[in-house]
Amino acid sequence: MIADALHLLNRLGRRTVMAVDALGYAAGLLGEAVGFVVSGRRRGQPVRLQAVVEQMRQVGVDAIPIVLLLSFTVGLMLAIQFIATLREFGAQSQVVLAVAKSVTREFGVLITGILVAGRSGSAFAARIGSMSVSQEVDALGVMGIDPVRYLVAPALLAMLVMLPVLTVLADAAAILGAAMYSAPMLDMSVQTYLTQTLSQLTPRDVYEGLAKSIVFALLITVIGVATGFSVTGGAEGVGRATTRAVVLSITALIVADMVFSFFLNR
C-alpha cells in the first residue's frame, strides 16, 4: 500500500520535474531566439531576411486560402446560431453586434491559431526533429551556425508578423460569412450589414484578438521547435514529436485564450 503510494508519488515528482525542465528549456529557447533577433548581427550571427520571408510564405501566405475558407464557414455558422437564439427574444437585429464582437475577440484568432498550430507547429517540430536525428543540427553547430539563430529566429519572426495578419483576414472572412446569411434574414443588404458591423466595432475589440494572436504565435513556435529539438529515437520519434507539438500547442492556445478572455472581460 504505502509502497504503491510512494511509487506513485515518486512518478508524480519525476513528471513534475520533467515538466518544469521542459518549460525552462522552452523559455530558454525563446530568450535565445529573441536575443538573436535583437543583437545577432552585432555578434556575427545575423537573422537572414531571406529566411524570414521564406518562413512568412510558408506559415502565412500559404495558409491564407484555408484560413479564409474556415473562417467564412464559422462566421456563417455563428450567424445561424445567433439568429436562432436571438429570435426567441425578438432581438434578431442584435446578431450584427454579437457576431462582430465574438469574431474579433474570440473566434477569428482561435480558428487561425488552431489552423496554424496544425500546419506550422507540426512543421517546425517535424523539420527540426528530423534535422536533429540526422545530425544536421549538430552539423550547423560545428559550422559555427547557431541552430537557434538559423532555424528558430526566422520562424519566430515570421509567426509574429503573419499570425496577426491572418487573424485580421479571418475576422473579415468570418464577418462576411455571417453577413451572407444574416443580411437576407434581416431584410438588409450585405453592404448595410457590413457598414453596421464597422460602426459597432471598437478598436479595442480588434486589439483583443491581435494581442491574443501575438501570444499564440509565441506559444506555437516555442512548443513546435522545443519539441523538435528534444526528439530522440529516429523517424518514429519524429512522428511522435509532431503529434505532441500539435496537441500541446492547441491545448496551450485554448488555455491561454481562456485566461485572456477572463482578465480582459472582467
Q: Which residues bind another protein (CB under 8 A)?
A: 43-45, 130-131, 134-136, 138-146
Say how far apart CA 145 and CA 98 lie, in whole Å: 51
Residue 146 Cβ vs another protein, minimum distance, rounded to whole Å: 7
Backbone angles phi, psi at 19, to 5 degrees: -65, -45
Closest to another protein by CB, 46 vs 118, is 46
Q: Is 145 left (phi over 0), alpha (psi -120 to 50) or beta?
A: beta
| Cβ–Cβ < 8 Å for 112, 166 | yes
| Cβ–Cβ < 8 Å for 116, 61 | no
Closest to another protein by CB, 118 vs 136, is 136
Can you say how many angstroms the Cα of residue 166 is from the centroid of all Cα atoms in its chain? 10
Closest to another protein by CB, 12 vs 69, is 12
Closest to another protein by CB, 93 vs 136, is 136
Residue 143 Cβ vs another protein, minimum distance, rounded to whole Å: 5
Choose among 196, 194, 170, 221: nearest CA to 67. 170
Closest to another protein by CB, 44 vs 203, is 44
Residue 242 Cβ vs another protein, minimum distance, rounded to whole Å: 16
Question: What is the 3 state secondary structure string of 100-163?
Answer: HHHHHHHHHHHHHHHHHHHHHHHHHHHHHHHHHHCCHHHHHHHCCCCHHHHHHHHHHHHHHHHH
Residue 115 Cβ vs another protein, minimum distance, rounded to whole Å: 23
Q: Which three cell numbers stand for residue 102?
A: 465574438
Say how far apart CA 138 and CA 132 lie, in whole Å: 7
Residue 16 Cβ vs another protein, minimum distance, rounded to whole Å: 18
Q: Which three cell numbers stand for residue 90?
A: 425578438
Rg (CA), the chain: 22
Residue 5 Cβ vs another protein, minimum distance, rounded to whole Å: 17
Q: Which three cell numbers stand for residue 226?
A: 522545443
Residue 12 Cβ vs another protein, minimum distance, rounded to whole Å: 16
Closest to another protein by CB, 152 vs 176, is 152
Closest to another protein by CB, 31 vs 184, is 31
